[in-house]
């Protein structure tokens, strides 16, 4: 089995990008250790604070965010970073080459019940000639990402990574190294699994309700096959399942906050996961257009998400085109 850094170098990955990914993994290994200790380390439960999203922060949200900030800002390659947990970006070396955005602990509502959570990250290059530390330098369409990935903290810690040349998975070994365990991941084009929060059914657009209702009709319905539904409430875990065995995951617009295009965040969740999905042969969409083509206008911009097996996402898009 190949070490992460050796694998990347062997495949002609930019050496500075390799160094930055190694730096990210130092932080993720520390987060994995904190999670493994759990209640023994006193890190479960919530704080008295809310983040910029208006969500109550878990203790481990704060710990994970602090670990990533400290480790990344110690690397001179980092021009700046932006976190789902922070109001504004934080800037590092003015001569740094890269920008990093991240969700430090996706699915943190699951921490106290010991269900899988994860860290999502996206790497961009700082725009050439940008001399001022300004949030605008982060506002790049997802197709400009030079790398993205996540670390799933489950029974094992697994890194799913793309540098724009396919998706590979690496597992954290007892030695502290990430070792290649799955190369050139491809999502099956067909599926019988879908993941959505059914409790929101009454708030969806008619097109989304019609699509899910037809799935639930099973073999006797218009889709002609029986589907299983999954819902973990952790995007990392949902996407990992899609990458591993196919499926569709969607978190659509709903009418409770109609001015918001969706719940998930474009820069910290939508873009990095969409790059992974497309690099593995799947589709990632807002239900109307490709997520990676969106030009962001805000660092905490939200987005509707439907991603996964190509045939299933294309069918979902057809339901929306017909309305």
129-142 burial by CB neighbour count: b if 16+ within 10 A, else e?
eeeeeeeebbbbbb
197 is in an annotated binding site: yes
105 is in an annotated binding site: yes
84 is in an annotated binding site: yes
64 is in an annotated binding site: no
269 is in an annotated binding site: yes
Say how far apart CA 117 and CA 38 lie, in whole Å. 13
Tokens of 186: 């491809």
112 is in an annotated binding site: no
The 8 Å CB, 24+ separation contacts for 35-41 are 35/60, 35/111, 35/117, 35/153, 38/114
293 is in an annotated binding site: no
Burial of 189 (0-12, 13-18, 19+ CB in 10 A): middle
Say how far apart CA 227 and CA 323 lie, in whole Å. 23
9 is in an annotated binding site: no
Annotated binding site: 84, 103, 105-109, 197, 263, 269
Annotated binding site for substrate: 106-109, 197, 263
Annotated binding site for Mg(2+): 84, 103, 105-106, 269
């Amino acid at each position: 089995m190949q070490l992460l850094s050796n694998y990347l170098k062997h495949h002609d990955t930019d050496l500075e990008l390799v160094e930055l990914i190694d730096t990210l993994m130092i932080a993720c290994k520390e987060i994995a250790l904190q999670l493994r200790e759990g209640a023994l380390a006193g890190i479960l439960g919530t704080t008295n604070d809310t983040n910029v999203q208006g969500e109550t922060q878990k203790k481990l949200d704060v710990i994970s965010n602090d670990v990533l900030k400290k480790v990344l800002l110690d690397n001179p390659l980092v021009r700046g970073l932006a976190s789902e947990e922070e109001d504004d970006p934080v800037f590092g070396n003015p001569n740094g080459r890269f920008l990093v955005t991240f969700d430090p602990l996706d699915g943190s509502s699951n921490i106290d019940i010991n269900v899988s959570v994860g860290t999502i990250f996206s790497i961009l290059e700082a725009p050439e000639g940008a001399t001022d530390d300004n949030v605008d330098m982060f506002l790049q369409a997802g197709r400009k990402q030079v790398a993205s990935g996540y670390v799933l903290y489950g029974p094992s810690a697994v890194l799913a990574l793309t540098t724009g040349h396919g998706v590979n998975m690496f597992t954290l070994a007892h030695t502290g190294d990430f070792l290649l365990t799955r190369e050139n991941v491809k999502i099956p084009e067909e599926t019988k699994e879908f993941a959505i929060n059914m409790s929101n059914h009454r708030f969806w657009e008619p097109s989304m309700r019609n699509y899910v209702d037809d799935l639930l009709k099973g073999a006797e319905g218009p889709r002609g096959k029986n589907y299983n539904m999954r819902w973990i409430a952790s995007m990392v875990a949902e996407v990992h399942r899609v990458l591993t065995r196919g499926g569709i995951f969607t978190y659509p617009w709903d009418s409770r906050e109609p001015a918001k295009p969706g719940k998930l965040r474009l820069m910290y969740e939508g873009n990095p996961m969409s790059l992974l999905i497309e690099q593995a042969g799947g589709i990632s969409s807002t239900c109307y257009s490709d997520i990676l083509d969106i030009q962001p206008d805000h660092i905490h911009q939200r987005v509707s998400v439907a991603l996964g097996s190509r045939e299933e996402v294309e069918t979902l898009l057809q339901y929306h085109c017909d309305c």
